[in-house]
Amino acid sequence: MVSTYGRLVASGAERMILEGILNALREERALDRYVTLPFSPEEAASSLGPIAAAAGVEIRWFGVNGPRADAEIVSGDGREWRVVFTNDGVSSLTGLWVFERPAPFRGVEGGVAIVVDGAVGAGKSTLMARFAEAEDTPWVVFDEVNFGHISTNHLIWIETCGPLYKGFLAGIAALAAEGNQVLLPSSGLSQTMLLDAFEGVRTLYVGLECPLAVLTERNRGREGRWGGLSERSYVEFAANGWRYDLLLDSNAFSPDTLVAEVRATLASILQ
């Protein structure tokens, strides 16, 4: 059983590499020595050599660490890939990841931030993840406005934390101000607090609406979602007094459509 993972581009040399590897595994068994432990980098590189040649690329480096192996592959036109393999230590390839080297990111003058607000279960994390995955430039996603290791009781009661969340926001804003792009949820913080923190950084405020019945169903049985959370967060979202650059119904549109709307609105802000 061969599984493939990672962000795979189904065109060009990258697809040829994947197809060659998978065909060899499924049909020719040319990589038997490679996918069965123990194997050496020399044996693996030798097995991969013909596949790379057929795809018009070169294996520049190969390394093995237990059940994991990494190959660095380059093409004549300057494209570069990192291919990561894992196996079960017996006879099967269990994972295959292919990453293409992106173009250098030069930064965005003044930085950019997208803040997503919505009730628990409205789809904030999904929107942020999909947006970042779809972009060619790097976006730093904060699924919560905190980092490091903080005891849970200090994260539950925001009002008792003193300068903690102000510091978190200052750190994220400083990251953005260096020319980076950040995505973060509101995390129950006031818009005034966020406006103060991101002063000078171009910021897009996105609100996600969602019917209460849908929120309740989405949160049902999910880890960390306590009883009554849907109702409470729904009421708080409706009464928070935020002003949004973009307000969307996450139940009416697919995640891809939401991403497209955010991208279009962001482009107008960055003009």
Least confident interval from 16-25, 55-64, 87-96 = 16-25
For the chain, the average pLDDT equals 82
Calpha distance 165→163 (Å, rounded)? 6
What average pLDDT does the segment 156-170 reach? 89
Calpha distance 150→42 (Å, rounded)? 46
What average pLDDT does the segment 105-123 reach? 95
pLDDT of residue 269: 84
Calpha distance 94→96 (Å, rounded)? 7
How many angstroms from the chain centroid is the CA of residue 5? 14
The CATH number of domain 112-270, selected from 3.20.20.150, 3.30.1490.20, 3.30.420.40, 3.40.50.300? 3.40.50.300
pLDDT of residue 29: 45
The domain segmentation of the chain, as residue ranges, is 12-100, 112-270
| Longest Cα–Cα distance in the chain | 64
Per-residue pLDDT of 255-269, as tens digits, reads 999 999 999 999 988
pLDDT of residue 41: 56
pLDDT of residue 158: 80
What average pLDDT does the segment 93-110 reach? 83
Calpha distance 207→120 (Å, rounded)? 12
pLDDT of residue 21: 59
Asked if 120 contacts 229 with a C-beta cutoff of 8 angstroms, the reply is: yes
On the question of pLDDT at 174 being above 60, the answer is yes
pLDDT of residue 51: 63
Q: Which residue has the tokens 């279960």?
A: 121
pTM for the complete prediction?
Answer: 0.79
Per-residue pLDDT of 199-213, as tens digits, reads 999 999 999 999 999
Per-residue pLDDT of 124-138, as tens digits, reads 999 999 999 999 999
Per-residue pLDDT of 28-85, as tens digits, reads 444 444 444 445 556 655 666 666 676 677 778 877 787 787 888 888 888 888 888 7
